[in-house]
Chain A
Amino acid sequence: MVNFTQITVKDIAREVKDNCLLGIPADYSGVPMSVTIEIIKNNTKGLRLYCLPLTTIQGDMLIGAGCVSEIETAAVTLGEYGQAPRFQDAIENSKIKIKDSTCPALHAQLQATEKSVPFMPLRGILGSDLHKNRNDWSVINNPMSSKTNDEKIVILPAVQLDILIFHASKADVYGNVQIGRRRELATLAHASKKVYVTVEEIVDEDFFDCELKAAATLPSLYVDGISLARNGAWPCGLTDYYEIDSNEMSKYAKSAKYQETFDEYMRNFISQNNYSNI
């Protein structure tokens, strides 16, 4: 018996509305692949992806399936499996808009929202073409400098996400979610209007009974809904549960090279129903 509203993966996918700003976790922080497939099946359009700080097969699939209009990211890559082919094609043929960024800037923009301040300063960036192409980033003279020189520093706007979805190992029966040391998931959640999580298991305990577990927990107050989805990050890996599926990633990397072979891959992927508890 759980003390929160348990929903399904399909329910979560339905919360992802056309044109929304969707938070995307990195390959190491719990990629919600089961929901991603449902989003693609729903033919959701115009998604704006905000990656913290990069995306892998999840972003590439959403782009290839035509769900994305814009992406803000520090990288799209399949890691050891090579470049992200659908992303490359979309950029080279101007199919989507890109806001090229750098990892710490993507963190800082969400941290501004966490603190509810309008902007956050960040070192570096100046003199790069990233900066030249971002008219939402500004430069100020350091107002705290005691020197009379004109030390420049970049300021970045606060960004609030419409919705965040990620996959995690466990939730307790009170709807608290175990995120381990993947604290960037907390940053994402704090800066998002809605947060949905898929988990491998729901355990009959209260993470707050144990200080060690509490320290690794995203409290239920930030979570709007949880669904059980065993194997929910596959073919990506999940720390302590399963490794990345090398065969599937290689197969994807090869298939995604061309739109036609990607489409065929996706038809098979969807029909196979790889996730339980959908």
Chain B
Amino acid sequence: MSEIFQSEIIISEISNLLRKDRHVAIGAASPIPGSAALLAEEERKNSDSKLKVTILHSQKFNNFTDGSRELFDASAQGRIDTFFLGGVQIDGEANINLVGTGRYPKLTKRFSGSFGSALMYFVVPKIILFREEHTPRTLVKKVDFISAPGISPPNIYRPGGPKYLITNKALFSFNKKKKNFKIEKINPEFTLDEVINSTGFEFKTNKNLKYFTMPSKKRIDILRNLIAPKVLNFYPQFAKKLWFN
């Protein structure tokens, strides 16, 4: 087996977080979560607990027929177990910013926008925050703009919210009551001190801290032989760079 890429390790870790799900949806610009979901689907296809995957930017893997509002309606109805959100910035209370840095509205650096986050973050039970870059500029003490808040007061309908944050350096879980992240796993290429120094917010450490699990040969084979060609269809630039260059 040739060298395993960082992105493949993250895909494999994300895939592990989807074990009990029935339906995972993948939104805009999410090739790594998309690959992870298709991997989980493939590995469970002969089991009793099948996984349904909806990839919005795909023709074949988009299960919706009622237009782009169906994702939000289905999510509000509780028909989606897991969804992924990213962020220009993510802070220690899991507030996410997809709009830009600096003072709104005349920002120093404008990014694309909030997409569906301001609803999805409230209604999907398991939101996995995914941001590959793990630096003090992405994981900050306080976001410059709240596209969607990490927690809400009790008089606001909120069956969903953040459960995990995964980066190229670590996996964290989020505790809603304590309003903080706890580190669960670390990429073996980094030390805990390095992770602490590259995180702009304080997080809870873990006596049972584990390392990212290296994907098995079988899993890598599935990923490269069966999943990569699918991903090529709807995230061609990403797939070409990782698997078909």
> Could you list which residues of chain A lie within 8 angstroms of chain B, going by C-beta atoms?
26, 28-29, 52-54, 73-77, 79-81, 83-84, 87-88, 91-94, 98, 100-105, 107, 111, 122-131, 133, 149-153, 181-187, 239, 246
Q: A92-B109, A103-B68, A128-B147 are in contact. Are A152 and B114 (CB under 8 A)?
A: no
Residue from B72, B236, B238 whose CB has the most chain A CB atoms within 10 Å: B72
**Interface contact A129-B236, CB-CB below 8 Å:** no
Instruction: List, sorted by A's number, 28 A–B pairs whose CB atoms are closer than 8 Å.
Output: A28-B68, A52-B68, A53-B68, A54-B112, A74-B116, A75-B113, A77-B113, A80-B235, A88-B109, A91-B106, A91-B107, A92-B108, A92-B110, A94-B105, A100-B114, A102-B117, A102-B118, A103-B69, A104-B116, A124-B123, A125-B118, A128-B114, A129-B145, A133-B105, A152-B156, A181-B64, A183-B65, A187-B67
By beta carbon, the residue of chain A nearest B234 is A80
**Interface contact B119-A87, CB-CB below 8 Å:** no
**Interface contact B116-A92, CB-CB below 8 Å:** no
- Inside 8 A of B116's CB, which chain A residues have their CB? 53, 74, 102-104
Q: How far is the CB of A168 from chain B (nearest CB, A)?
A: 14
- Inside 8 A of A28's CB, which chain B residues have their CB? 56-57, 68
**Interface contact A123-B76, CB-CB below 8 Å:** yes
CA A186 – CA B68 in complex, angstroms?
11
By beta carbon, the residue of chain B nearest A244 is B236
Q: Answer whether residue B40 sits at the interface, using C-beta atoms and an 8 A cutoff.
A: no
List 5 additional A-B contacts (Cβ < 8 Å) besides A52-B68, A75-B28, A80-B238: A28-B56, A88-B111, A104-B118, A183-B70, A246-B236
By beta carbon, the residue of chain B nearest A179 is B67
CA A261 – CA B145 in complex, angstroms?
31
Q: Answer whether residue B243 sits at the interface, using C-beta atoms and an 8 A cutoff.
A: no
**Interface contact B66-A183, CB-CB below 8 Å:** yes
Q: How far is the CB of A50 from chain B (nearest CB, A)?
A: 14
**Interface contact B112-A83, CB-CB below 8 Å:** yes
CA A126 – CA B120 in complex, angstroms?
12
Q: How far is the CB of B11 from chain A (nearest CB, A)?
A: 17
Chain B residues touching A, range: 35 or more
**Interface contact B119-A122, CB-CB below 8 Å:** yes
**Interface contact B64-A80, CB-CB below 8 Å:** no
Partner of A152, one of B109, B155, B237: B155
**Interface contact B106-A94, CB-CB below 8 Å:** yes
Q: How far is the CB of B220 from chain A (nearest CB, A)?
A: 24
By beta carbon, the residue of chain A nearest B59 is A239
- Inside 8 A of A122's CB, which chain B residues have their CB? 119
CA A77 – CA B30 in complex, angstroms?
13
Within B34-67, the residues touching A (CB, 8 Å) are 56-57, 59, 64-67
By beta carbon, the residue of chain A nearest B102 is A92
Q: How far is the CB of A22 from chain B (nearest CB, A)?
A: 18
CA A220 – CA B162 in complex, angstroms?
45
**Interface contact B156-A151, CB-CB below 8 Å:** yes
Partner of A92, one of B64, B106, B152: B106
CA A54 – CA B115 in complex, angstroms?
8
- Inside 8 A of A187's CB, which chain B residues have their CB? 67, 69
- Inside 8 A of B146's CB, which chain A residues have their CB? 127-130
By beta carbon, the residue of chain B nearest A25 is B68
- Inside 8 A of A149's CB, which chain B residues have their CB? 155
Closest 7 CB pairs of A and B: A183-B67, A75-B113, A124-B119, A102-B118, A104-B72, A127-B149, A103-B116
Q: Answer whether residue B181 sits at the interface, using C-beta atoms and an 8 A cutoff.
A: no
Partner of B115, one of A74, A81, A184: A74
**Interface contact B29-A79, CB-CB below 8 Å:** yes
- Inside 8 A of B121's CB, which chain A residues have their CB? 124
- Inside 8 A of A87's CB, which chain B residues have their CB? 110
Q: How far is the CB of A152 from chain B (nearest CB, A)?
A: 6
CA A100 – CA B99 in complex, angstroms?
8
CA A124 – CA B99 in complex, angstroms?
17
Q: How far is the CB of A138 from chain B (nearest CB, A)?
A: 15
- Inside 8 A of A74's CB, which chain B residues have their CB? 113-116
By beta carbon, the residue of chain A nearest B122 is A124
Within B189-242, the residues touching A (CB, 8 Å) are 235-238
CA A152 – CA B152 in complex, angstroms?
11
Partner of B68, one of A26, A83, A126, A239: A26
Q: How far is the CB of A17 from chain B (nearest CB, A)?
A: 27
**Interface contact B118-A124, CB-CB below 8 Å:** yes
**Interface contact B69-A130, CB-CB below 8 Å:** no
By beta carbon, the residue of chain B nearest A80 is B237
- Inside 8 A of A129's CB, which chain B residues have their CB? 99, 104, 145-147
CA A13 – CA B71 in complex, angstroms?
32
- Inside 8 A of B113's CB, which chain A residues have their CB? 54, 73-77, 100
